[in-house]
Amino acid sequence: MSPFRRRVHGLRRERIHASPRFRDGVFRNTSGVGPDLKKGSTLPVMREFLFGGRRRVPVAPLPSVSPLEVWAKPVETGLRATWLGHSTLLLEIDGVRVLTDPVWSRRVSPSPLFGPKRFQPVPVPISQLPALDAVIISHDHYDHLDYPSIVELIRHEVPFYTSLGVGAHLEAWGVPADRITELDWWEGAELPNNDFRITAAPSQHFSGRAAGDRNRTLWSSFALHGPQHRAFFSGDSGLTPEYREIARRLGPFDLVMLEVGAFHPAWGHIHLGPDNALEALRLLGGGSFLPVHWGTFDLAIHDWDQPAERLIEIAPSLDTHLLMPMLGAPIEPSRVEEVETWWRTISALERHGTPEAADLAPERLVPIGDPID
């Protein structure tokens, strides 16, 4: 089987062509923003890439813990989240378990030999995941749609919810058609045998897995609605006023997961970064904020820990209820009162060059905004 794009036909093709977002043979952002670098930025970006001297990869694997013992216990507040790296999370919401953008591969690339390599293993293998009720795939980029992970998840007999056109990949890789639900923006689906709804919502990004197939499938954010709790998952997106409409139609949210890494001003329309993520959070109406899409792969030019450090710097002044869980550490947002700067153990190791440097990391606890009741 090939990890590249599959051609669409039949009803799937009809639905794509009927989408208001599909024009002149491709999907388009509402704003008209495309994936190209901002005008005049190509040469400066190349110089920064080649000569910037950035700390783009940590010198050692980041700390992580196994979530298995906690997963075996009930979720007392009804809402629990486990960040497994990049944009992969296990969300437990009102008795429903949802896995987002599952990526377990060592590299996010069409080749197992080349391309961005993960900083550390996922804290738990797919085989040890608890029973899942849904898998969400936001779009078809390699760091969100991972062929080997999908093939292994097929054995779990879990339904997949994704953006228009992405189901062609899944079906070609062996996911039964009756376990694939493709959604256009503002379309939703009820989970079988559960009072739970998954709704696709706008994002500002692009798609494609090979030369010549850019924007042939849709990209989405997703809102998750249980009987008691609501959560929002951004997928990949730049800052868009559509977040305000998402809040109006699908909020308020108890938990908001927004991408903060792989950011650069040259492509700032299609990724958020820390500052724009906090503005997006405001447009979404607030909620506990769990940053994703950082600390796993070298996909940009910034320091590997820049997204986390920038959030620690600016979030307190905005009274943000910031959640920065260690990899694999399940958290119930309403019970989190402080941020532990666990990643600084590696930053200290980089500065001091000895394993004992982990004890030298400053400011391990940082106050955050008031938790949600």
**Residue boundaries of the structural domains of the chain:** 10-367
**Average pLDDT of the chain, as a whole number:** 91
Neighbours of 373 (CB within 10 A): 4
Task: Write out pLDDT tens, residues 69-119.
Answer: 999 999 999 999 999 999 999 999 999 999 999 999 999 999 989 999 999
Report the relative pairing of strands 88-93 and 96-100 from DSSP bridges: antiparallel
Whether residue 3 has pLDDT greater than 60: no
Higher pLDDT: 8 or 361? It is 8
When mean pLDDT is compared across 53-57, 235-239, 295-299, the lowest value belongs to 53-57
Is the backbone of residue 53 left (phi > 0), alpha (psi -120 to 50) or beta?
A: left
CA distances from 137 to 189, 304, 336 (A): 14, 24, 28
pLDDT of residue 373: 33
Within the chain, residue ranges assigned H as helices are 10-18, 42-51, 68-71, 147-153, 167-172, 242-250, 273-283, 306-314, 344-352
pLDDT of residue 38: 67
* φ, ψ (nearest 5 deg) of residue 187: -90, 145
Task: Write out pLDDT tens, residues 271-280.
Answer: 999 999 999 9
Contacts of 144 (CB under 8 A, 6+ apart): 87, 101, 103, 137, 138, 235, 236
- Work out the percent of the chain whose per-residue pLDDT is above 70: 88
Q: Which two tokens stand for residue 111?
A: 């080749």
Task: Write out pLDDT tens, residues 14-27.
Answer: 999 999 999 999 99
The listed range with the strongest mean pLDDT (1-5, 55-59, 92-96) is 92-96
pLDDT of residue 372: 36
Whether residue 342 has pLDDT greater than 90: yes
pLDDT of residue 221: 98
Contacts of 319 (CB under 8 A, 6+ apart): 369, 370
pLDDT of residue 6: 58
DSSP of 263-298: --GGGTTT--HHHHHHHHHHHTT--EEEEES-SS--
d(CA 334, CA 80): 9
When mean pLDDT is compared across 34-38, 55-59, 107-111, 241-245, the lowest value belongs to 34-38
Higher pLDDT: 111 or 355? It is 111
What is the mean pLDDT of the segment spanning 306-322? Answer: 96
When mean pLDDT is compared across 7-16, 168-177, 328-337, the lowest value belongs to 7-16
pLDDT of residue 268: 82
pLDDT of residue 371: 39
* Contact (CB, 8 A) for 164 and 16: yes
What is the mean pLDDT of the segment spanning 286-295? Answer: 98
d(CA 28, CA 24): 9
As beta bridge partners, residue 292 has 259
Report the relative pairing of strands 160-163 and 365-367 from DSSP bridges: unpaired
pLDDT of residue 230: 98
What is the mean pLDDT of the segment spanning 318-335? Answer: 97
pLDDT of residue 258: 98
Task: Write out pLDDT tens, residues 156-202.
Answer: 999 999 999 999 999 999 999 999 999 999 999 999 888 999 999 99
pLDDT of residue 37: 64
Whether residue 366 has pLDDT greater than 90: no
- Cα 272 versus chain centre, distance: 12
pTM: 0.92
Instruction: Return the residue matching tokens 């929002």.
Output: 232
Task: Write out pLDDT tens, residues 28-37.
Answer: 999 998 887 6
CATH architecture designation of domain 10-367: 4-Layer Sandwich (3.60)
